[in-house]
Structure 1
């Protein structure tokens, strides 16, 4: 755990210096950091616990709407509305899991799509609160210590803090009792139950934590967008992108989702500017190559090969 925390500290130091070195590339960096945080949050449920969700855009949308509605209608600062969004998302995750965890495999994944669609329809139809299909515009924000939260630099540091907190949380959990319980349930629920672990309670805790962390990132995303529209913020495509980021980077690993975010978001932007209309084709080919030749994800496959080399050296000695 110590080496991972040291690595996080080094990356955090590099991140703090990033705006001064690359002031013109902050928008891409913000996207990478947000997806790194969302994918790592998703991985608590989908990787460490083995419950693949395709509805995590719901929690992104909740965080964004809490910030936008809280500021535009009630004058609440975003840090308060992000905290409220995290609590609400955790409660929603509890009831969501309580209703759907009796389903396994693809049936659970399909149920998450259905619940996410329900939330999107609620956002569209409850115009008095959400602005309906028109959406909500975030026109003003407080300026703590004179900092303009609409500036890309401030948003970069918010996204950096979010990603760092989520990764640090996973580092701690990976070596805690809860982390071992998550992996036990993922590998075999019946064996975990025989060992005295309550699979449903473990999955509910993972879902609640994953939902709360994702919603905080959603609140930051709301500040970045400044305009929240339900068809975009609750889109199935966003949920799939979050899941793909973790899967391609390496599910059930500490750094896999962050590597996946760097590869997918960074490569996507590079392809869009370099290959123009062919960028989606090349982007799809990249995903296909990773899935076919790195089934455990980039970090997962590297870890597997490293372990094989260690065993080979021991066998030779």
Structure 2
């Protein structure tokens, strides 16, 4: 745990000085931090608990719309973000209670369906969401004179979000709940025989993952300043969040953050360097990681570290 806390401290310190050193590269950094937070939140359910979701864009969109609708009614983001987290947790509870009795790929398919339902609601309930044309976030209050539309302020908010989610996972991985998550992931029947309620454990994981994701979605809405349902609830965004955690290493503290740095950074580099060929090279990179390091980058490093440690013990 000490190593993780040191890494978290390094992230905060580096993030604190980043805008001073690279003031012209804040947008890409905000994207990396948001995806790091979303993927780490996704990993609470998809990695630590083993329940793969392909619908986390629904929580991103829910958070963004809560902030946007709140702003149109004079509700400040620091009130709207907790409200978004609560709304996402309630949605996850109802969603999970209905679908966690499904086995195999059926839960993953249900997550796609729920995200699509929310997209259709956002399109058809124009009186609330602006409909298919979307909704602008025109004004936001300025706490202590801070412009929340400025990229610097948004960077520090994204940094706080990513650091907060990673800190949450560090704590969860070391407490009883974290061990319950891993027990259910490895063998539900054995966990049940040991006295655990697998559905209850998965519900708590889903609610925590959803609430954290929705907070990041609210920040994303502030960054975009315009929310359009076809984009914010898209399957592509859900897949990107899941891929970020899988490529980095599921069930690890730092895997999703490393995945965000690699995928978002590589995507931006390929787009500017290779122009039309960027998607091909991006796809080859993902394929190479899946084929040669199926545990993810950090997952493979952890595996090799554990093997070396046991080998030294066997020799001593």
Please indicate the TM-score interval, normalised by the length of the shorter structure: over 0.9
1:157 matched to 2:164: no
Structure 2 equivalent of residue 178 of structure 1: 177
Structure 2 equivalent of residue 290 of structure 1: 289
1:12 matched to 2:8: no
Aligned counterparts of 2:220 and 2:284: Cα–Cα separation in 1: 28
After TM superposition, the structure 1 = structure 2 runs for residues 55-66 of structure 1, keeping only pairs within 5 Å, are: 55-66=55-66
Structure 1 equivalent of residue 301 of structure 2: 302
Structure 1 equivalent of residue 197 of structure 2: 198
Deviation at 1:316, TM superposition (A): 2.4
What secondary structure sits across from 2:66 in the alignment? helix
Structure 2 equivalent of residue 24 of structure 1: 24
After TM superposition, the structure 1 = structure 2 runs for residues 1-317 of structure 1, keeping only pairs within 5 Å, are: 1-72=1-72, 74-317=73-316
Aligned counterparts of 1:227 and 1:169: Cα–Cα separation in 2: 29
Q: Name structure 1 gaps, 5 residues minimum.
A: none
Deviation at 1:104, TM superposition (A): 1.7
TM-score (norm 2): 0.99
What secondary structure sits across from 2:48 in the alignment? coil
Q: Name structure 2 gaps, 5 residues minimum.
A: none
Aligned counterparts of 2:15 and 2:172: Cα–Cα separation in 1: 23
On the 8 A contact 1:100/1:111 being kept in 2, the answer is yes
Aligned counterparts of 2:213 and 2:103: Cα–Cα separation in 1: 22
Q: Output one character per residue of 1:20-63: Cα deviation in whole Å (capped at 9) or x when no partner.
A: 01101100000000000000000000000000000000000000
What secondary structure sits across from 2:208 in the alignment? helix
Q: Output one character per residue of 1:129-168: Cα deviation in whole Å (capped at 9) or x when no partner.
A: 0010010001111111111111100000000000000000
On the 8 A contact 1:26/1:152 being kept in 2, the answer is yes
Aligned length: 316
Aligned counterparts of 1:316 and 1:199: Cα–Cα separation in 2: 39
Deviation at 1:111, TM superposition (A): 0.6
Aligned counterparts of 2:71 and 2:311: Cα–Cα separation in 1: 59
CA RMSD after TM alignment: 0.6
On the 8 A contact 1:51/1:105 being kept in 2, the answer is no
Deviation at 1:307, TM superposition (A): 1.0
Aligned counterparts of 1:104 and 1:24: Cα–Cα separation in 2: 47
Deviating runs (4+, > 6 A) in structure 1?
none
Aligned counterparts of 1:57 and 1:89: Cα–Cα separation in 2: 11
Aligned counterparts of 1:238 and 1:105: Cα–Cα separation in 2: 22
Deviation at 1:313, TM superposition (A): 1.9
Deviation at 1:312, TM superposition (A): 1.8
